[in-house]
Amino acid sequence: MELEFLGTGAGSPSKSRNVSAVALKLLDEIKKIWLFDVGEGTQHQILNTTIRPRKIDKIFITHMHGDHIFGLPGFLSSRSFQGGEKMGPLTIYGPKGISDFVNISLKVSQTKLSYELNFVELEEEGLLLENDRFKVYAYKLDHRIECWGYRIEEKDYPGELQVEKLREAKVPSGPIYGRLKAGEVVTLEDGRTIDGKDFIGKAKKGRIVTILGDTRQTPNLKLLAKDAEVLVHESTFGKGEGKLARNYHHSTCVQAATLAKEVGVKQLLLTHISARYVGKMVKVLEKEAKKVFPNTKVVKDFDTFNIPFPERKDDEQ
């Protein structure tokens, strides 16, 4: 599981930062990639990465401001040329109006897609989707227009079969090991009854990733970010600009760091950086946040982060 940032700027593109887009790469887990926001020029940014558009099967939009959606029509159109009829379907999740924006853009440009395009417009907070490996939750944020944050929870991995323990118990190898790994109770040829659960190690905890849209501080942030391995939080304003942040429905780097500290986040990644912050000023943003939450980084375009598994406490091992 990896995060790759395709755009880390706020409002409009700059020479050093494109507008919002981040890829959650789940290639080892489900062989897919999920995009969160698709700002203008996202498909150009993808050309500078190893990301293949055909691997992207879900797009999550936080809100309908242009710096988060203007790249959608172009990306969707170009994806048609990446695999023809073999291209799998794509689902876009987002606020009410996202389907109108995309469909009208495709209609007036007479764009025909070679794959199935589906929409899920968000209405209720809570569990948004679930598959064999992940649950995704969506909660409303506090921005000038309807805006959402997403919490991606990876399900726990089943424990490994303790083969050495089975050998010590003189359990013969073979197909029976598969049944024991499935947790079955089996009877051996010598008459002994073996419970597979007694030979399976502790489950490996899944990871949690939280990706937020633009927002002021609001109680839902704690629901979204609690115990996350990684929190992606906007940092449009710096320390001492709390009043400005509130007036413009955004957050400061210190507010993001305080949230991370309060809810047990492991790593804080700050994005949506204003064009006012360049050069050494970016380091100042990072330094201010680190005083509150040391494991903080201000990200830049094309930064990639591997998301580690949570460490177990000694009594859980």
Is the separation of the CB atoms in 31 and 56 below 8 Å?
no
Can you say whether the dihedral through the CA atoms of 154, 315, 194, 166 is positive or negative? Answer: positive
* Backbone dihedral angles phi then psi of residue 253, each to the nearest 5 degrees: -60, -35
Tokens of 125: 């907070």
Strands across the sheet containing 148-154: 126-130, 134-140, 148-154, 208-211, 230-234, 267-271, 296-298
SS3 242: helix
- The candidate with the shortest Cα–Cα distance to 298, out of 234, 250, 242, is 234
- The candidate with the shortest Cα–Cα distance to 249, out of 234, 268, 230, is 234
Say whether 132 counts as a known binding-site residue.
no
Beta bridge partners of 25: 2, 33
Say whether 250 counts as a known binding-site residue.
no
Say whether 249 counts as a known binding-site residue.
no
Say whether 233 counts as a known binding-site residue.
no
Catalytic machinery residues: 67
Say whether 65 counts as a known binding-site residue.
yes
Secondary structure (DSSP) of 120-145? EE--SSEEEEE-SSEEEEEEE--SSS
CA distance 297 to 268: 6
Is the separation of the CB atoms in 239 and 222 below 8 Å?
no
The residue to which tokens 């391995």 are assigned: 229
CA distance 157 to 144: 40
- The candidate with the shortest Cα–Cα distance to 61, out of 32, 86, 84, 90, is 90
* 25 burial type by CB count under 10 A (0-12 exposed, 13-18 middle, 19+ buried): buried
Q: Which amino acid is at 246?
A: R
CA distance 132 to 121: 22
Q: Which residues are annotated as a binding site for Zn(2+)?
A: 63, 65, 67-68, 143, 214, 272
